[in-house]
Amino acid sequence: MRTFCFIFLVAVFSLVSVSCMNEESFTTSPNKMLVYSADTVSIDTVFSNIPSSTRSFWVYNRSGEGIKLANAKLAGGNQNGFRANIDGVYLGKTAGYQVNDLEVRSGDSLRVYVEFTAPTTNQDKPQLCQDELVFKLESGVEQKVHLKAWTWNALKMNNLVVSEDTQLASSTPIIIYGKVTISRGATLRIAGGTSLYFHDGAGIDVKGTLVCEGNKDSEVLMRGDRLDRVFDYLPYDRVSGQWGGLRFYSESTNNRLQYVELHGAHTGVQCDENSELTISNSTIHNCKGYGVTAQSAHLKIHDSQLSNSLNDCLFANGGRVEVQGCTIAQFYPFDSARGYALNISNSSGALELFTCDNSLITGYAKDVIGGSNNKASTFNYQFSSCLLRTVEPTSENVNRFLNVQYENVDDTIAAGKKNFMKVDERNLVYDFRLSSASLANDKGDKSKSSYTDRTGIPRLEHPDIGAYERQSTKD
């Protein structure tokens, strides 16, 4: 019995030893190669001298035998802006941007990390940068993974203080860090075609005057500075709360936002008591706070789109507010506890006058218009020639709603998101131009209509309700 046990143990040990020997053997056959989880690593567009987020891929040995790497190197060294780390080893200058004598046992793998910091170019448009990671096997076989990224030159401004009249005009993107502060008595004019990319927490504080002078062919862009993606299908540009927004202080007057595309902020526009602002032909979209909030301010909004905010798209609390030819759409995707499309109140002071003409106000909820009247102060409002998703008024308030249509909340054909060309909740893509089904088509009051819509298209003889004039019979 003891003899049998001894023979059995010897046999088992021999099998284990052979197995270990086989596992430790390395091949030099050119037919045995490594497998890569990606043959190309693509990095989203990045601004010059700003590090990208990290990408990674795997290197697998599925050959059945061990494979040795004579070396793995970054072909362009430090010339193209790429950096790599292979199996915990950084390919830096000291090592000649390579690593030598790596072993990949059968069934094992390596993980490779890649980053990119774009070099400065002399071009206004994004430029392609490329490089390669070259894996040279001990057999002499070379395998390559292609690296590519786009670099975009950008100007940078950090805590800019505007203390005298200044014009900002640039065909090159401008990255804003910290606050742009416009001092009392100073005016900052931003020319059409200027694009401002705000870093986390950055924004504009207006104590003087801000004038954005976009036009239908060349708008002013305000957005966050992240150009990469949350997921493969979702750019950060479609995520709210990326930057701080605009704040107009009490002493701020004669402000104008004309043909401005503002999105992805925390609160898009905040108007303090007695501040003055006119918004025309503009979009304020996808804010993590309010879209526009006005506290006893003087605010005019014409032919503009206010859409998708965690809190209200427009909160008018006291003051004088005029809304004309606007689309206010509350389809904020990230939280079901979203606020109203429109909310009016006199809790911070008398609502001297709120008027809303030729405007489309809708959203997910059955009632997207809120109102708070403390009855101790003026609460003066008027809607005319609008399409509203709200409860029809009682007899005592009916005169405040003239020529108004009310959405049927049970209508799944023409109401809510069916008013629009696209509301894609999965990919967060929105097109708030009117669909052919919308009841807003041709229902506006020409006497209260502007000559052009949000995009500068002329209004027709029978204008549409909302920010966009429908031009096509096709969706």
Residue 244 lies in a domain: yes
Domain range spanning residue 102? 26-151
121 & 195 share domain = no
> Which residue, 151, 182, 202, sits at the end of a domain?
151
| 394 confidence band (pLDDT: 50, 70, 90) | confident
249 & 357 share domain = yes
| 106 confidence band (pLDDT: 50, 70, 90) | very high
Sign of CA dihedral 7, 12, 16, 22: positive
Which pLDDT score, from 0 to 100, does residue 20 have? 47
Residue 243 bridge partners (DSSP): 265
What are the φ/ψ torsions at residue 3 (nearest 5 degrees)?
-60, -45
Instruction: Give residue-wise pLDDT tens across range 450-471.
Output: 999 999 999 999 999 999 999 8
And the tokens for 62? 């599925």
d(CA 73, CA 136) in angstroms, rounded, equals 8
Residue 205 lies in a domain: yes
Which pLDDT score, from 0 to 100, does residue 3 have? 45
Mean pLDDT of all residues belonging to the chain: 92
Task: Check pLDDT > 80 for residue 133.
Answer: yes
Pairing status of strand 109-116 against strand 55-60:
antiparallel
143 & 168 share domain = no
Tell me which H or E stretch contains 292.
strand 292-302
d(CA 467, CA 434) in angstroms, rounded, equals 9
279 & 345 share domain = yes
Residue 67 lies in a domain: yes
d(CA 205, CA 399) in angstroms, rounded, equals 39
Beta strands in 312-468 (DSSP E): 314-324, 327-330, 342-345, 351-357, 360-363, 369-372, 379-384, 387-388, 401-402, 405-406, 420-424, 429-434
And the tokens for 206? 């207006």
Residue 19 lies in a domain: no
239 & 98 share domain = no
Instruction: Give residue-wise pLDDT tens across range 61-82.
Output: 999 999 999 999 999 998 999 9
Q: Which amino acid is at 448?
A: K
Q: Which amino acid is at 171?
A: S
Task: Check pLDDT > 90 for residue 475.
Answer: no
Q: What is the DSSP string of 271-316?
A: E-TT-EEEEES-EEEEESS-SEEEEEEEEEEES-EEEEESS-SEEE
Task: Check pLDDT > 80 for residue 13.
Answer: no
Residue 371 bridge partners (DSSP): 344
| Cα dihedral 384/388/394/397 (nearest 10) | -30
The number of domains in the chain is 2
Residue 6 lies in a domain: no
Q: Are the CB atoms for 468 and 452 separated by under 8 Å?
A: no
> Which residue, 151, 178, 207, sits at the end of a domain?
151
Residue with tokens 């997207």: 368
d(CA 309, CA 329) in angstroms, rounded, equals 9
Which pLDDT score, from 0 to 100, does residue 125 have? 85
Length of the chain: 475
> Which residue, 123, 151, 179, sits at the end of a domain?
151
Residue 308 lies in a domain: yes
Q: Which amino acid is at 2?
A: R
Q: How large is the average pLDDT for residues 405-416? A: 90
330 & 430 share domain = yes
Q: How large is the average pLDDT for residues 139-157? A: 95
Give the CATH number for residue 431. Answer: 2.160.20
And the tokens for 296? 């006893």
- Give the residue among 213, 194, 207 at the shortest CA–CA distance from 246: 207
Query: Three-state DSSP class for 238?
Result: helix
Residue 9 lies in a domain: no
- Give the residue among 220, 233, 239, 341 at the shortest CA–CA distance from 287: 239
User: pTM for this structure?
Assistant: 0.87
76 & 170 share domain = no
38 & 110 share domain = yes
Q: Which amino acid is at 381?
A: Y
| 25 confidence band (pLDDT: 50, 70, 90) | confident
Instruction: Give residue-wise pLDDT tens across range 307-355.
Output: 999 999 999 999 999 999 999 999 999 888 999 999 999 998 999 999 9
Biggest alpha carbon–alpha carbon distance for the chain: 110
Residue 89 CB partners (closer than 8 Å, separation 6+): 95, 99
189 & 322 share domain = yes
And the tokens for 9? 């143990």
Instruction: Give residue-wise pLDDT tens across range 258-269.
Output: 999 999 999 999
Tell me which H or E stretch contains 441.
none
d(CA 39, CA 17) in angstroms, rounded, equals 37
d(CA 256, CA 279) in angstroms, rounded, equals 6
What are the φ/ψ torsions at residue 121 (nearest 5 degrees)?
-120, 175
168 & 312 share domain = yes
325 & 431 share domain = yes
Task: Check pLDDT > 80 for residue 290.
Answer: yes
Q: Are the CB atoms for 336 and 475 separated by under 8 Å?
A: no
Give the CATH number for residue 117. Answer: 2.60.40.10
414 & 373 share domain = yes
Residue 41 lies in a domain: yes
d(CA 179, CA 135) in angstroms, rounded, equals 46
